[in-house]
Structure 1
């Protein structure tokens, strides 16, 4: 299990965001965690690779691949090989509301005769999968996040108390609940996509911890021999 790091890297009087996520700082931190680090040039992003449960994962920092993300994006994929029939999508509620509003406006625009090619794939997922919920999770979680799934039992098997607690305990200065965030299991893999705000080491460390914990939880609860 990946424990939280207490060390925060600070570099002189440089801008806190730039200094805290310099290639040197990220590379040093990655080495303490057993991750491999590949830089793309200062200010151009980087990638991290590791293993969880014997399965490889990769996290990248770079330019956004979705128009709802401003600034830089953190995106990750874990080749966890769980039941590929399972689909569970966790999205911060502000993003869900914004995407639904965008889709509604597009579909009701009488001047629009073709599908909007800029519409993100996430909109289709919102249309395909119903939102689910259950009483054992705290109300603040449901205020911040929405959970969509093919079956509620799969969402419950994945979102264990430890993962939920991590998603609710971002280190200060924490990402605002409005900051786009998506965590999902789809086609046997785990994915994370989020706006890298604030762009500092505590946010990066915690995002990596959330993602690796999500991979572990999915392997434990959504493997082919366990999922109904």
Structure 2
């Protein structure tokens, strides 16, 4: 894993490898309007089956994006979709929320899992990933802090508000993200 940083107020990035595939994580200005302060975002080209689509999103963000989409659809003054809308809003419309027995109730209270197929969600979101998602170190991000991991078009993405702005948050987000990448490489390898 290596780190680099830009001028003050710009991005800080780190990179690593998972399963022989490179990933990159950046900390910088938000690219989404639902993130305040700094945004942590990661991307890896995994080379897995490109027809798999799945997302883990915290419930408050899912609810906020759904309300926003609904108000746009029902706004009689708006006749076209706003091109600045985040892609995440389309994913919420494309994917069904998937639930299953096993994960603790506190997981389902904090996160939603959406996927194109139930089997994809069950294969990708395993117990160690669930444990990581529930074990944020203190001071921990609250359930309201925007967070999502997306597996789409053979890539894995992470996007979250960097709050609390602590090294432990960054390290844990990296552990969660690399576990999600490892799972995808293991179960969706071409």
Determine if contact 1:103/1:119 at 8 Å carries over to the other structure.
no
Gaps of 5+ in 1: 1-34
Pair 1:111-2:83 in alignment: no
Q: Does 1:101 align with 2:67?
A: yes
Match of 1:198 in 2: 164
CA distance in structure 1 between the aligned counterparts of 2:7 and 2:178, rounded to whole angstroms? 25
> Which among 124, 139, 144 is matched to residue 110 of structure 2?
144
When the two structures are aligned, how many residues end up with a matched partner? 190
Please, which moves more after superposition, 40-49 or 186-195? 40-49
**Residue 43 of structure 1: how far off its partner (Å):** 4.0
- Which one of the candidate residues 123, 128, 133 is aligned to 2:89? 123
Instruction: Summarize the Cα distance change of 1:200–1:43 in structure 2 as closer, same or farther, 3 Å threshold.
Output: farther
Which residue in 2 is equivalent to 1:187? 153
3-state SS of 2:180 partner = helix
State the alpha-carbon separation in 2 of the partners of residues 44 and 123 from structure 1. Answer: 27
Q: Aligned partners of 1:209, 1:199: CA distance in 2, in Å?
A: 16
Match of 2:165, SS? coil
CA distance in 2, matches of 1:173, 1:131: 29
Residue matched to 1:59? 25
Partner of 2:126: 160
d(CA) in 2 for partners of 1:117 and 1:44?
25
1:68 corresponds to: 34
Q: CA deviation at 1:57?
A: 0.4
CA RMSD of aligned residues (A): 1.0
| CA-CA distance at 1:118 after TM superposition | 2.8
Unaligned 5+ residue runs, structure 2?
A: none
Residue 42 of structure 1, CA deviation: 3.6
Query: d(CA) in 1 for partners of 2:150 and 2:70?
Result: 23
Residues 84-111 of structure 1: per-residue CA shift (max 9 Å, x gap): 1000011100000000100111111111
Q: Which runs of 4+ in 1 moved over 2 A?
A: 41-45
